[in-house]
């Protein structure tokens, strides 16, 4: 009886610990997690982070089709993604909105959104928000930049003005890509991600 009572008292604490540890953001310098996990891309092919990475690293951006902040930042996300590819940094967008998968965040909806925006990089389904949980990602858009060694060197927003593009004074992500492609240390390693909450199941 005492054991059952103790276990029942511990359950809420264990659940809270699991939630917190699963949503702590990946620390700068951490190795890229779950690089081998295979996901379905809008092309119909399977892709993993390891396969998406190029010689100078990988940009992972958690995104979606419907968030107003994603839509407002779409041209900037596209611009920095093309810039990354030109610098031999791979690009993959991940849609972790598992709670909306049957509707606005379905694979077909992702294909339509990518076609409208002219994506020429990977846009994959993060099933059950597995990578979002591993990264500790909570927002869309939210960016994680890894160097050629697979170490996290930047985490945060695309730039310092997620609202109005005309107010941008520093392009954090582009600067970080320039620095790692030139073999330099990233000067600004983190910034605050502003956007919509990732819609996890449960």
Does the residue 183 lie in any domain?
yes
Q: Is 165 helix (H, G, I), strand (E, B) or coil?
A: helix
- Please state the separation of Cα 79 from the chain's center in Å: 16
Does the residue 14 lie in any domain?
no
pTM confidence score: 0.88
Does the residue 69 lie in any domain?
yes
Does the residue 184 lie in any domain?
yes
Under-50 pLDDT residues of the chain: 1-21
Does the residue 11 lie in any domain?
no
Does the residue 5 lie in any domain?
no
Does the residue 3 lie in any domain?
no
The domain tally of the chain equals 1
Non-local CB neighbours of 153 within 8 Å, separated by 6+ positions:
28, 29, 57, 145, 146, 147, 176, 180, 185, 186, 189
Which CATH number do you get for residue 42? 3.40.30.10
Instruction: Quote the domain boundaries for residue 83.
Output: 27-197
Does the residue 7 lie in any domain?
no
pLDDT at residue 46 in the model: 98
Backbone angles phi, psi at 17, to 5 degrees: -65, -45
């Amino acid at each position: 009886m005492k054991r059952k009572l103790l276990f029942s008292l511990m359950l809420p604490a264990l659940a809270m610990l699991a939630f917190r540890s699963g949503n702590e953001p990946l620390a700068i310098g951490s190795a890229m997690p779950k690089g081998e996990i295979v996901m379905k891309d809008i092309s119909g092919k399977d892709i993993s982070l390891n396969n998406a990475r190029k010689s100078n690293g990988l940009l992972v951006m958690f995104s979606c089709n419907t968030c107003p902040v994603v839509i407002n930042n779409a041209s900037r996300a596209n611009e920095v993604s093309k810039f990354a590819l030109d610098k031999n940094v791979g690009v993959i967008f991940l849609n972790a909105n598992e709670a909306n998968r049957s509707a606005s965040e379905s694979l077909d909806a992702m294909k339509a959104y990518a076609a409208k925006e002219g994506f020429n990089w990977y846009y994959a389904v993060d099933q059950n928000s597995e990578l979002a949980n591993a990264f500790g990602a909570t927002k869309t858009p939210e960016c994680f930049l890894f160097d050629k060694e697979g170490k996290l060197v930047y985490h945060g927003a695309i730039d310092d003005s997620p609202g109005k593009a005309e107010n941008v004074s520093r392009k954090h992500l582009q600067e970080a890509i320039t620095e790692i492609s030139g073999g330099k240390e990233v000067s600004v390693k983190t910034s605050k991600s502003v956007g919509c909450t990732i819609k996890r199941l449960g």
